[in-house]
Homo-oligomer: A and B are copies of this chain.
């Protein structure tokens, strides 16, 4: 008997049934093209483009890249996007004062404060800054008022990463109603809003985390598995029910050979990339999952572009809401 003919066993083999690749880059491009007429209409009606103010404090290499990508995408779409820098030694009061100024600016519809803030601002500084945002400008959806409205399933600005994951699931026609969705990770910025959004689409939702007993077994009950842990290659094939949809939210930069070798098999392009560049991106999902999952988001090119597309969409939505 040729086991290659039995797809239900193929996860024991090597690459016999590769998971469908959920192309976040293409999906994000589609979303941007849908937003374009809204931006044009806004400009025509109000004589100015929707505006985004991005606050970046200190020097954090990953933050620089994120912020640059967000500003580039928002500006390329025809919005106004401005970076507001604070030094690494800036105080919490200076950050709050900047937010107050941006709250008052008529041409700034959305405000995004890039995490993390410098440690010198003290513990809890980020939430205090998010609290200070005008909720109507809170394009990251981190203000408690917006979080509460999300829980209550009311129109609001929702955190960009989980919102982007939902867009991808919907556009890729992954069924959610009555399906079991398992979210690994319970952060305020991904895990919890993700669970709420899935619940609102009538999934049965389980939130797992570091204290979950037998996490692989729980994850294996999922029809849709969302990995948002921030640990490279953490979700291995034993976490995944054959045919499940796996959304990999992790964007981890690997800089040691040991990590790269653990996460990527011999002959992998990622190993070659690391050898050449000295670092490589890895998701929270181990590549071996490709052979078990029915569909999977790549890293990079999966959730990342959708997060940025949602920054753009939330900015336009905030602008439309503010003038209406």
A-to-B contact residues, CB < 8 Å: 127, 143-152, 154, 177-180, 186, 188, 192, 195-196, 199, 202, 204-209, 211-213, 218
Contacts and interface: CB of A to CB of B under 8 A. Distances in A.
B192 A218 contact: no
25 contacts: A127-B152, A127-B154, A143-B148, A144-B146, A144-B147, A144-B151, A144-B152, A144-B154, A145-B145, A145-B148, A147-B147, A147-B151, A148-B149, A151-B188, A186-B199, A195-B207, A199-B209, A202-B211, A204-B207, A204-B208, A204-B209, A204-B211, A205-B206, A206-B206, A206-B207
Contact of A144 (B145, B199, B208): B145
Contacts of A180: 213, 218
Contacts of A178: 211-213
Contact of A177 (B145, B188, B202, B211): B211
A177 B145 CA distance: 29
A265 B55 CA distance: 65
Contact of A151 (B148, B179, B218): B148
Given A144-B145, A147-B152, A204-B206, 12 more contacts: A144-B148, A144-B152, A147-B148, A177-B211, A178-B213, A180-B213, A192-B196, A202-B211, A204-B211, A204-B212, A205-B206, A206-B207
B202 A209 contact: yes
A194 to B, nearest CB: 12
Nearest to A127: B152
Contacts of A188: 151-152
A151 B207 CA distance: 13
Contacts of A211: 177-178, 202, 204
Contacts of A204: 206-209, 211-213, 218
Contacts of A145: 144-145, 148
A97 to B, nearest CB: 23
